[in-house]
Amino acid sequence: MHRIKSLLVSSAILFPVFHAVAQEAKPQDTEVWEPVPAIVTLGTAASAPSDAIVLFDGRNLDSWVSDKGGAAPWTIKDGAMTVAKGKGGIKTKETFEDFQLHIEFRTPEVVKGEGQGRGNSGIFLQEFYELQVLDNYNNKTYSNGQVGSIYKQAIPLANPSRKPGEWQTYDVIWTAPRFNEDGSLKSPARVTALLNNVLVQNNFELLGKTLYIGKPFYEKHGAKSIALQDHGDLVSFRNIWVRKL
Ligand code: MG
């Protein structure tokens, strides 16, 4: 009895103390100081941030190969690389899983064709998943195939296209799909993309590989290249860099 009484007394004394401590919570209590994010020196409009892997700086195609094997056959002029019509796409020598990608493209100033036949190329994220490149300035096509789309899967949230012949920017955050040992899907690929600094894909979960015909599905793979499409139009690219995440 005496012990219970003393416990009651002590908790009666302690309770206001705890209460007072709780009241004395400071803003500093919820500040987290470690780890410190690494300082990155920003690039200019035409160069990469300090921790990026530069994939194309306007001088050579050393980081690229033909998707048919061998040297990348595209042409370089005035700091830009351009599709060599009919010679096939190109892909990076290095392979990637999760990454941030910056890439600039320009569709031909002289407009030819319409719909999918006008300034068509594509950025194949991990080789299988196409972020569409198309001249959609006053050019109608199916919504899930226009610039900013994940081709035939995700309609872009906006169409912030610049005029044909003007340089446009893509900034992409890619999360690779993950697979189980048996090949089944563990988690789908996800993409966020900005076209000319306007959000066009917001953390979209992909349904599988890009297909021209039929419904997309996944097949197990690991790190893959970033590839650029030859769709027969003279689309140019410049200032390409990637940051592995
Ligand atoms: Mg395309």
Q: What is the pLDDT of residue 1?
A: 43
Kindly list the protein residues that place their beta carbon closer than 5 angstroms to ligand 1, a single-atom ion.
120, 122, 229, 231
Cα 148 to middle of ligand 1, angstroms: 11
Query: What is the predicted pLDDT for the residue at 20?
Result: 56
**Predicted local confidence at residue 7, as pLDDT:** 46
pLDDT score of 44: 74
pLDDT value for 3 = 52
pLDDT, one tens digit for every residue, the chain (245 residues): 455 445 444 544 555 555 555 678 998 898 888 888 777 777 777 789 999 999 999 999 999 999 999 999 999 999 999 999 999 999 999 999 999 999 999 999 999 999 999 999 999 999 999 999 999 999 999 999 999 999 999 999 999 999 999 999 999 999 999 999 999 999 999 999 999 999 999 999 999 999 999 999 999 999 999 999 999 999 999 999 999 99
CB atoms within 10 A of CB 67: 18
Query: In sequence order, what are the residues at sequence separation of 6 or more whose Cβ sits closer than 8 angstroms to the Cβ of residue 197?
Result: 160, 169, 171
pTM of the predicted protein model = 0.86
CA 232 – ligand 1 centroid, Å: 10
Instruction: Delineate the domains of the chain, giving CATH numbers in brackets.
Output: 53-244 (2.60.120.560)
Distance, CA of 31 to CA of 24 (rounded, Å):
15
Report the separation in Å between the CA atom of 141 and the middle of ligand 1, taken as the mean of its atom positions.
12
Q: How many helices (H) and strands (E) in the chain?
A: 1, 15
Q: Is residue 78 classed exposed, middle or buried when 0-12, 13-18 and 19+ CB atoms within 10 A define those classes?
A: exposed
CA of 220 to the centre of ligand 1 (A): 23
DSSP state letters, 188-227: --EEEEEETTEEEEEEEEP-SS--SSS--------SB--E
Cα 121 to Cα 88, 130, 177, 215, 218: the distances in Å are: 11, 9, 23, 21, 23
From ligand 1's centre to the CA of 233, what distance in Å? 10
**In whole angstroms, how far apart are CA 180 and each of 186, 187, 221, 222, 243?**
6, 9, 10, 11, 26
